[in-house]
Amino acid sequence: MSVHNRAVRRPFEIRGWHVLALVTGFFGVVIAVDVAFLVLAYRTFPGQVSVTPYEDGLLYNRRIADLEAQERLGWRAAAEAAPGEVALVVVDRDGRPLAGLTVAGRLERPATAAGAVDLVFTEAEPGRYVAPVGRLSGAWDLTAAAQGPSGGRLSAERRLTWP
């Protein structure tokens, strides 16, 4: 009878080259995914924020100049959310009410421009201007602009909340 010598298989063992292959493969996949995301991001957003950057810069500079002129003028505004209306009180540097202003405004939701409401203010009493808004609820951003007969301007932005 003949005895067969069969090679006995040892159980699988993790060796150093296995670990090297796994670590290299893991980082290879991470790098490949990062490169793919970078290429997709670059192709979909070339870096142009505005189609008119020069004009946007001029508007920004004008806005800064308007705010500096408003600061020199010293006018202040306070807004109030009342049931069915918005009230805006405008005073001068010394706290005296400013009468005879032309005031317009706009209400917008903080998260979207949908449902924006244009406002026309009328002077209810000296320095106090009101605009009807109907039934509103929740938070709204008010942007108001007032102009005096002598050319002075005030712009104000406030967040108002109705129950």
Backbone angles phi, psi at 2, to 5 degrees: -110, 145
pLDDT attached to residue 121 = 92
Q: List the CATH number of the domain containing 102.
A: 2.60.40.1080
Q: Report residue 48 as tokens.
A: 């142009």
Q: How confident is the model at residue 98 (pLDDT cuts 50, 70, 90)?
A: confident
Q: For the residues 79-91, what does the mean pLDDT come to?
A: 90
Q: Is the pLDDT of residue 1 over 60?
A: no
What are the residues whose beta carbons fall under 8 Å from the beta carbon of 34, sequence distance 6 or more? none
Q: For the residues 60-88, what does the mean pLDDT come to?
A: 90
Q: Is the pLDDT of residue 21 over 90?
A: yes
Same domain for 37 and 96? no
The top-scoring range by mean pLDDT among 18-27, 61-70, 102-111, 145-154 is 18-27
Same domain for 98 and 24? no
Containing structural domain, residue 41 = 15-47
Q: Is residue 63 part of a domain?
A: no
Per the structure, the count of domains in the chain is 2
Q: Is residue 34 part of a domain?
A: yes
| Tens of pLDDT, residues 36-68 | 999 998 888 877 778 898 999 999 999 999 889
**70 three-state secondary structure:** helix
